[in-house]
Chains A and B, each alone.
Chain A
Amino acid sequence: MTQLQQKRQYAFVIRQLTARELKRRYTRSYLGVIWSVLNPLLSMVVLSLIFSQLFRRSIENYPIYYLTGYILWQTFTGATTSAMTALVDNKTLLIKVKFPMELFVLTKAYTALVNLAYSLVAYVIMLLFFRIAPAWSMLVAPVIVLGLFLFALGLSYILAVAYVFFGDVKHLYTVALTLWMYCSAIFYPADQLQGLIRIVIQLNPIYTFIHCLRQAVMQGQFPAGSQLLQMFLWGVGMYLVGHLVFRKSKNRMMQKL
């Protein structure tokens, strides 16, 4: 088999596994995949009811502010938490199939990306509803999503490896995610904070992704060069580290599984 054919076969496998993932998720519900659109909307409504009064001064258009953060955050957590258990869950498969184990992790990240595409439907509806004027800067969104995807994928590799050796990682990561979420300024304005926590938030890569998308969509501003560089370094850096860790531990993982 030539390289190209092999790549194409891998892509086919990923599409099939992703389709399974999505079908399985909504297998017993009537609305099915529509939930992927409804979920962010409902969450937005709830949060807006509670917080839009509170932050009226500091955030104009709270629902969009929240929704922008929410969909990116969901993509990130969706990818990493499901990818973490991907290898252990597919243990029996792994031994039998001939393609690289990376595909299972990649599938989970890709599934989260497909889910994001559905959420974007909700997002666009809301943009129209709140009469957000289309701006050229919105075109930067795919770049931001790509950066986030690479970052999530890199971390997924590391988590997947860790989970093979220690089941605890799952619980630890849940706690870490809660903390991480509060440090990502998803539902409150970041510039009201001072001191250490402010620095933490600004160093937080997830916040950078969210912040840039908000700027691009709500203010029509392109990300600054330094922000672009930051996103690029986080995304590519995390991906390379994750991939390296994964490759190095492959054989040990096979023995363990």
Chain B
Amino acid sequence: MENWERCKQKKIETAESLETAIEVEHVTMAFRRAKDEATSIKELLVRTVRRQHRYETFQALDDVSFRVGKGEVAGIIGTNGSGKSTVLKIISGALIPTSGRVKVDRSKVQLLTLGTGFDPELTGRENVYLNGALIGYTKQYIDEKYDQIVRFAELEGFMEERVRNYSSGMVSRLGFAIATVRDTPEILILDEVLSVGDLFFRKKSEARIREMIHGGSTVLLVSHSTSVIRSNCSMAVWIEKGRLRAVGDPKEVCDAYENM
């Protein structure tokens, strides 16, 4: 009887893992850029009069489609300026694509960013509250987790000090501690944040990131490093110059990327 229950449980789990968490359908993103754009009203007037408006469209993404199943860890790879960040912005809802659409439950998406809105003139404590508020923590939540954040960042005794006087390692430790104190959201987006701080802290931060990645949530991870993607991801997406080059097994995709 118990066995049967467990069996059923397992079946439900596999069924769930096949569910789609993020579906990107034929997404095209075109930015219209005026050629040497008018940055002043005078210029604009002169050009309007002379009818010198020339535009060029820049395709940041061109008909990109892929889907990420629930619980998968997807790595996005590609050279600089190939449109990786644009994909993330569209998935998180910061940009609306020119055409195509993204099916995802936005309320579950969390972008992990470090030190958002840190202000050097404020103290460590004030920055925890400011940064926490910006990334969506409530006041009670920060009150509750405050000690844990300080302990993880190893900044006991420095919190009333202005961040201006921190070393860069201390700043990134604090940023990391705030960003990762939360329970892992259902859909987590990571943009190159895998290692911060000195050697000792790096181990700790990598361990925490692993814990988040493999905690059962759907993860979207952007990286230049194929080794990061090989060792962490269950699928990989390669985007090059706005076009989708390959989707699938991380090893195969990374091999193809390296042999480009």
Contacts and interface: CB of A to CB of B under 8 A. Distances in A.
B139 A12 contact: yes
Nearest to A28: B121
B123 to A, nearest CB: 9
Interface string A139-158: 00000000000000000000
Contacts of B117: 20, 90, 93, 97
A90 B118 CA distance: 12
A44 to B, nearest CB: 30
Interface string B82-123: 000000010011111000000000010001010011010110
A168 B116 contact: no
A126 interface: no
Contact of B121 (A24, A94, A168, A172): A24
Contact of B133 (A16, A24, A95, A167): A16
B6 interface: no
Given A12-B138, A96-B116, A166 B96 contact: no
A20 B107 CA distance: 27
Nearest to B191: A96
Given A19-B126, A168-B40, A172-B41, A93 B134 contact: yes
Given A9-B138, A19-B126, A23-B121, A95 B94 contact: yes
A8 interface: yes
Given A167-B39, A255-B95, A8 B130 contact: no
A172 B130 CA distance: 33
Interface residues of B, number: 30
A47 interface: no
Interface in B44-98: 44, 89, 92-96
A93 B117 CA distance: 6
B116 A93 contact: yes
Contacts of B134: 13, 16, 93, 97
B41 A20 contact: no
A12 B126 contact: no
A168 B126 contact: no
B8 interface: no
B122 A23 contact: yes
B136 interface: yes
B158 interface: no
A1 B135 contact: no
A248 interface: no
Interface string A5-18: 10011001101110
* A-side interface mostly: helix
A97 B121 contact: no
Among A16, A93, A168, A169, the one with the most B-chain Cβ atoms within 10 Å of its Cβ is A16
Interface in A13-46: 13, 15-17, 19-20, 23-24, 27
A16 B130 contact: yes
A85 B212 CA distance: 37
Contact of A168 (B42, B94, B111): B42
B120 to A, nearest CB: 9
Given A1-B107, A166-B39, A172-B41, A98 B92 contact: yes
A251 interface: yes
Nearest to A167: B39
B71 to A, nearest CB: 23
Nearest to B142: A12
B139 to A, nearest CB: 5
Among A24, A94, A96, A169, the one with the most B-chain Cβ atoms within 10 Å of its Cβ is A96
A138 to B, nearest CB: 34
A254 interface: yes
Contacts of B122: 20, 23-24
A97 B116 contact: yes
A97 B135 contact: yes
Contacts of A16: 129-130, 133-134
B31 interface: yes
A194 to B, nearest CB: 35
26 contacts: A9-B133, A9-B136, A9-B138, A12-B139, A16-B129, A16-B130, A16-B133, A16-B134, A17-B130, A17-B133, A19-B126, A20-B117, A23-B126, A94-B94, A96-B116, A97-B135, A98-B111, A98-B136, A166-B39, A166-B40, A166-B41, A167-B40, A168-B42, A172-B41, A254-B94, A255-B31
- CB-CB nearest 5 A-B residue pairs: A16-B133, A27-B121, A168-B40, A13-B133, A96-B113
Interface of A: 1, 5, 8-9, 12-13, 15-17, 19-20, 23-24, 27, 90, 93-99, 166-169, 172, 251, 254-255
Given A12-B139, A19-B126, A97-B117, 6 more contacts: A9-B138, A23-B126, A94-B94, A97-B135, A166-B40, A254-B95
